[in-house]
Structure 1
Amino acid sequence: MEFPVAVALAQAVPELPAGRGWWFEPKLDGQRTILWCEAGRVRLQSRSGRDVSGAWTDLARAGRQLPAGTVLDGEAVVYIAGHVDFSAAQARAASSPARAAQLAARWPASFAAWDLLAHAELGDVRSRPYVERRALLLDALKDVGPPLQVVPATNDRDTALLWYEALRSQGVEGLVAKHTTSTYRAARIWRKVRHADTLDVDVVGYTGPRSRPRALAVRFPDGRTLLSQTVSAPIRREVAARLADAESGRPAHTRAGTAYEAVETGLVAEVLAGTTRHGVVTVTRLR
């Protein structure tokens, strides 16, 4: 397996799937991260494939407890006062290494592992079914402990629904459903339900300077491309960092005729679902 790896994704659904063969995991509100344990070093990868080790040095140090050849998929999260704080995780992800170290000293990160992509002895295990990968993951982390932890999972739908309601106050944003036979591949192979009424859209362009984008052009699942409202400073910095490595853009227009610079960023944005009726899109975060 070569760095970076293309990650599996989840399709938003209105309710949890029913029937036999489904397992359910809490969905924590942090930054999707792949933890690579290699000979002599540990690297961390973002969902988009960037090396983000400098933002999560505390997790990299913790990863040294694992044998070389281990690759974990999960979420980098930050707890503040016992609550998963997405803003704190977002700040870490968007910080320079020096600033990230300062934030880590005050609010250390945790890694919520939910999948094992490579095993130190067995190699690439992505072709194995979910239940086998889950068992290998539990075994790999059984003697490690915080800040590396396995997310809980259940195959009881009623228990999952109880988690959905009871854990919301702790920063759990929803649930992810995975079928017992599913292999790991770069597609929307899982199902997710979230408390927030949001949509995931592809970032396909921007307005304003490349180094300081003002708004984002986002493409919806139905093919529409709309411009967002002015994005927040943390989102602006993260998009600018990604644009620095992207190819040159080209002039483009939305169906309404608004101009933007089109470029494939590989980024996915979360937008408020109720903000698109009149072409006004509010970006809440990048995923």
Structure 2
Amino acid sequence: MEYPIAVALAEAVAALPVGSGWWYEPKFDGDRGVVWRRDTVRIQTRAGRDATEQWYDIAAAAMDLPPDTVLDGELVIWRDGRLDFAAVRSRASARGRRLADLIQRRPATFAAFDCLMLHGRDLRGRPYLDRRAALLEVLESLGPPLQAVPATDDVDVAHVWYETLPAQGIEGIVAKAETSTYRPTRAWKKIRNRMNCS
């Protein structure tokens, strides 16, 4: 797998898809990040830029991942029990002493939602459920700040998340077909919570 990759995206929809084979995840409000653990760690933005310096705390934690692992997810900052997108934006644009201060005062979390490579094996052609199992396996022995996002195949649970999690800054829900591969198209579906829409 060559750095950088084109990331998978989600299509905005008016309602969650339902039926057998759909899985649902909370949509965290942060910056998209792909964590590359090779000899060292690099963090790639959605656009393919290197953002390792801005997210040095996540890069340091990701050294505990097995070599030749690549994870996709969201770089987020929690503040007073809620996701703070303004803090994410401040971190992303800061440099030098100001950046070091923000990293110290407002540490980040990586909300991982996909495993693209594990032990050098490219998993992008594998179904979502296989990649999800690999993600849980690789993060099982670790803890914050590297965490897997919750996922459920119960649409009723997804609706509860949609109604109750905006208080924590969750943007909405992303739906993924359990057989879907990882590709740079809008195959995923997302519904944004009306409380988070401006």
TM-score tier (shorter)? over 0.9
Q: How far did 1:197 drift? A: 8.4
Alignment of 1:123-138 (within 5 A): 123-138=121-136
Partner of 1:73: 72
Using the size of structure 1 for normalisation, the TM-score is 0.67
Listed one character per residue, the Cα deviations across residues 139-186 of structure 1 (whole Å, up to 9, x for unaligned) are 000001000000000000000000111111001010000000000001
Between the aligned partners of 1:63 and 1:51, the Cα distance in structure 2 is 15
Which residue identity lines up with residue 5 of structure 1 in the other structure?
Answer: I
Q: CA deviation at 1:98?
A: 3.5
**Equivalent residue, structure 2, for 1:184:** 182
Residue 141 of structure 2 aligns with which residue?
143
In the other structure, the counterpart of 1:34 is: 34
Counting matched residue pairs gives 198
Cα distance 1:120–1:169, how it changes in 2: closer, same or farther (>3 A)? same
Alignment partners' CA distance in 2, 1:183 and 1:45 = 20
Q: Which runs of 5+ in 1 are unaligned?
A: 199-270, 273-287
Moved segments of 4+, more than 3 Å: none
Question: 5+ unaligned residues in a row in structure 2: which ranges?
Answer: none
Contact 2:166 2:195 in 1 (8 A): no
TM-score, L = length of structure 2: 0.97
- Contact map agreement 2:9 2:187 (CA 8 A) in 1: yes
Q: How does 1:48-197 map to 2 (within 5 A)?
A: 48-121=47-120, 123-196=121-194
Amino acid at match of 2:144: P
Partner of 1:242: none
1:13-56: CA deviation from partner (whole Å, max 9, x where unpaired):
001001110000000100000000011x1000000000000100
Distance 2:53 2:45 in 1: 12
Report the equivalent of 2:9: 9
Change (3 A) 1:98 1:38: farther
Task: Give the drift of 1:100.
Answer: 2.0
Retained in 1: the 8 A contact 2:31–2:88? yes
Asked if structure 2 preserves the Cα contact closer than 8 Å seen for 1:55 and 1:97, the reply is no
Which is helix-richer, 1 or 2?
A: 2
| Aligned-pair CA distance for 1:99 | 2.3
Structure 2: distance between partners of 1:182 and 1:8: 11
Provide the C-alpha distance between the structure 1 equivalents of 2:11 and 2:194, rounded to a whole number of angstroms.
14
Structure with the larger strand share? 1
Residue 97 of structure 1 and its aligned partner are, at CA, apart by: 4.5
CA RMSD of aligned residues (A): 1.4
Q: More relative contact order in 1 or in 2 (CA 8 Å, sep 6+)? A: 2
